[in-house]
Structure 1
Amino acid sequence: MRRPLLTLACAFAALASVFVTSGTAMSETPLHAAAAQDDVAAIQRLLSAGAPIDARDGSGATALLVATHTNNVNAAEALINAGADVNAKDNIKDSAYLYAGARGHLNILKITLAHGADLKSTNRYGGTALIPAAERGHVDTVRTLIDAGIDVDHVNNLGWTALLEAIILGDGGQRHQQIVELLVEAKANLNLADGEGVTPLQHARARGYRKIERMLVAGGAR
């Protein structure tokens, strides 16, 4: 009996290896596959046939989040218009709204904002969509989120605001300068220090970001 059991075990191991190496979760649905391929016609057929629009794959992602991962705007729009939950989070607390904001997927972000995106929703670091957008230099995304009314002074689990992340994790270049300018104009608290009591102005000075330093001083930073 040991040989058949061993053979069966090997077969299961081989099958598992296929899924692992392909990066495809075993619970992926045809709707997830259609979203990954930006196949709107297939999405519409599947939904008309009764496919659950917010079904999860092995990572907890919905088809909408899968489409957002690869910036498949057509698929994302089709799913959102059909009622997909823009705030549904996966196992690491990403949602279509949060991921689009963090990655600068502006078209999808705007669609999520028009369909009930929760501006107070936070990622696994306790940050809103604005904070990683500021860090990564997504100027238009930051502008869009500010215009939508997001809290510019939200503090994440690291003790950092969007302004602090733009300075601490940014490169001091043109994009991050624009983001700091947008946050200053949005009346962000320029003196809100990090968890160790270091202010945005102090961080900018320590890094030699002179243009950002001048912006902060002009805005009343200390």
Structure 2
Amino acid sequence: MTTTPHRRLLAAARRGDADGVRAALADGAGTETRDEELRSPLLLAVLGDHVETARALVAAGAGADVDAQDARHDSPWLVTGVTGSVAMLRVLLAADPAPDFRLTNRFGGTSLIPAAERGHVPYVRAVLRDTPIDVDHVNDLGWTALLEAVILGDGGPAHQKVVALLLAAGADPGLGDSYGTTALEHAERRGHTALAALLRHAPAVPATPAALA
């Protein structure tokens, strides 16, 4: 059965077939074609961490929209915080126009917040160093990236590093959740002694970008 260029583009993006993406685009498929869940080809490529496929989409014509959101309010840029892919982050940062760092997901969070929750250390470092993302953005749950790293993290080495990076970038340890409970209080309640120690000795001033290298 013959399929349309649009369907071929979506299928190629989903499986990470960069050549198939280019062929479908050459046959007239649009970069902003959507599937039944309103996911764009670029979003499908990002979900699968298909870096070269994403690069082909970003380079196509006017370029795929890195902020196009689906039915769940996911966008290619926002999903990089979930996957933690620094390589994909680099591809999307090179897009024109660049990502909207204020765009939020269905929980009201920026890409930094799920990355902090999941302990994606290289991603957190890169997004803090190379973008103007708001380190103290508060999501719909009343949590910042710092709070989410403490509340939903396991307190282990990865989350300790994430917390250290957030603090070095100027995250405010005094910001409480919707009940006024601070990250330090959450760490102490969970018995995360290493995190608590980091929070007690938070730097007085943000670090320079070199300190986040």
Q: TM-score range by the shorter chain?
A: 0.7 to 0.9
Contact 1:89 1:95 in 2 (8 A): yes
1:84 correspondence with 2:64: yes
Counterpart of 1:16 in structure 2 is none
Q: Which residue of 2 aligns with 1:204?
A: 187
**1:134-160 superposed Cα distances (whole Å, 9 cap, x missing partner):** 000101111111111210000000000
Specify every segment of 5 or more residues in structure 2 that has no aligned partner in the other structure, as ranges.
Answer: 1-5, 205-213
1:40-81 Cα distance to aligned partner (Å, 9 max, x none) = 122112112221111111000001111111111111111011
Is the contact made by 2:168 and 2:203 (CA closer than 8 Å) also made in structure 1?
no
> Match for 1:131 among 95, 113, 123?
113
Residue of structure 2 aligned with 1:47, choices 25, 31, 39: 25
Runs of 4+ in structure 1 deviating by more than 2 angstroms, as ranges, are none
Aligned-pair Cα RMSD in Å? 1.3
- Report 1:99-138 matches (<5 A): 99-115=79-95, 116-138=98-120
Q: Distance in 2 between matches of 1:211 and 1:114?
A: 37
Distance in 1 between the 2:7 and 2:27 partners?
13
Deviations 1:68-96 (A, max 9, x none): 11111111111011111111010000011
Which residue type is aligned with residue 46 of structure 1? A
8 Å Cα contact 1:190-1:220 kept in structure 2: no
Pairing partner for 1:176 from 159, 166, 179: 159
Contact 1:86 1:95 in 2 (8 A): yes
Query: Hey, what does 1:94 align to over in structure 2?
Result: 74
- What percentage of residue pairs aligned between the two structures are identical? 47
Q: Which has the higher contact order (CA 8 A, sep 6+)?
A: 2
- Structure number with greater Rg is 1
Q: Look up the match of 2:209.
A: none
Query: Which amino acid in the other structure matches residue 143 of structure 2?
Result: W
Aligned-partner residue type, residue 146 of structure 1: L
Unmatched tracts of structure 1, length 5 or more: 1-27
- Report 1:133-172 matches (<5 A): 133-147=115-129, 148-172=131-155
Verify the 8 A CA contact 2:155 2:192 in the aligned structure 1. yes
State the number of aligned residues. 194
2:13 paired residue number: 35
CA distance in 2, matches of 1:150, 1:220: 19
Which residue in the other structure is 1:219 paired with?
202
Displacement of 1:220 after TM fit? 6.4
Deviations 1:10-33 (A, max 9, x none): xxxxxxxxxxxxxxxxxx711010
TM-score, normalised by the number of residues in structure 1:
0.84
Distance 1:40 1:102 in 2: 22
**Judging changes above 3 Å, is the alpha-carbon distance between structure 1 residues 142 and 220 closer, same or farther for their aligned structure 2 residues?**
closer
